[in-house]
């Protein structure tokens, strides 16, 4: 008998999502970690040699947490979007739609798998940074790190679900990544503080939800924030609630998922 909440089905789909990316962990976990570390090395060498201090810490220490959460959210998006798109293109999406799983249960499993991958990537990057010379990434407020890291990963996981449902081929998903996700990530304050850019750029950054993810996550490491943490927490909660509703309605309708 299946209760109102299909716990066994949810668990099975979640484990399938985790095993899917963990089978190629060199590509899905360790490769993003290496790429993130290359960003740190390049920018630390370019700007850190002048003893630049930002928000009371050396530039490398300022940059490290932002790069960690940037890798997390990008991989969260990649996990859900690729999972749905590949299943659609291979025709195996029917194996997900036929079992007695509601739209909400599908979302929980997909988002849970994306969160698992995001935190594994974040843990891998943080571990390497913790033992690497020239950068100091102690966690000062675990609650801020946990909240903003999780909310940012959920945000991108939900965007990944919408992208996977909408896309008909890999070019469509790549367009979302290259023209929306990457610009929003790079222009979110990962590499700079808002008070050092033009008023127009500052306004655009405050309208970017990725800014609140990175700023809140970073503040859990360095103890200082570039914006208002409470405002950022509320913005992310509202955006995620809105995206969750949109994803639920899209999956419930079966748009572009059912033949």
3-state secondary structure of 252: helix
What was the pLDDT predicted at 50?
60
Cα(113)–Cα(15) distance, integer angstroms:
8
What is the domain partition of the chain in residue ranges? 22-45+52-253
Quote the pTM value.
Answer: 0.93
99 pLDDT band, cuts 50/70/90, is confident
pLDDT tens digits along 196-234: 778 888 888 888 999 999 999 999 999 988 878 999 999
């Amino acid at each position: 008998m299946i209760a109102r909440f299909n716990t066994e089905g949810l668990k099975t789909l979640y484990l399938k999502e985790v095993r899917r990316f963990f089978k190629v962990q060199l590509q899905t976990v360790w490769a993003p970690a290496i790429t993130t570390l290359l960003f740190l090395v390049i920018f630390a060498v370019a700007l850190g040699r002048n003893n630049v201090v930002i928000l009371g810490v050396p530039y490398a220490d300022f940059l490290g947490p932002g790069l960690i959460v940037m890798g997390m959210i990008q991989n969260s998006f990649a996990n859900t979007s690729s999972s749905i798109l590949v299943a659609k293109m291979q025709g195996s999406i029917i194996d997900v739609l036929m079992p007695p799983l509601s739209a909400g249960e599908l979302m929980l499993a997909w988002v849970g798998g994306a969160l698992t991958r995001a935190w594994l990537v974040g843990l891998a990057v943080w571990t390497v940074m913790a033992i690497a010379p020239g950068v100091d990434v102690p966690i000062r407020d675990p609650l801020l790190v946990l909240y903003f890291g999780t909310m940012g990963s959920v945000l991108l996981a939900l965007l990944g679900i919408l992208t996977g449902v909408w896309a008909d081929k890999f070019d469509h998903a790549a367009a979302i990544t290259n023209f929306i996700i990457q610009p929003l990530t790079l222009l979110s304050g990962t590499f700079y503080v808002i008070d050092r850019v033009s008023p127009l750029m500052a306004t655009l950054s405050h309208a970017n939800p990725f800014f609140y993810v990175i700023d809140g996550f970073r503040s859990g490491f360095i103890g200082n924030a570039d914006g208002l943490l409470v405002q950022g927490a509320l913005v992310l909660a509202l955006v995620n609630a809105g995206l969750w509703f949109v994803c639920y309605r899209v999956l419930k309708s079966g748009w572009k998922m059912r033949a």
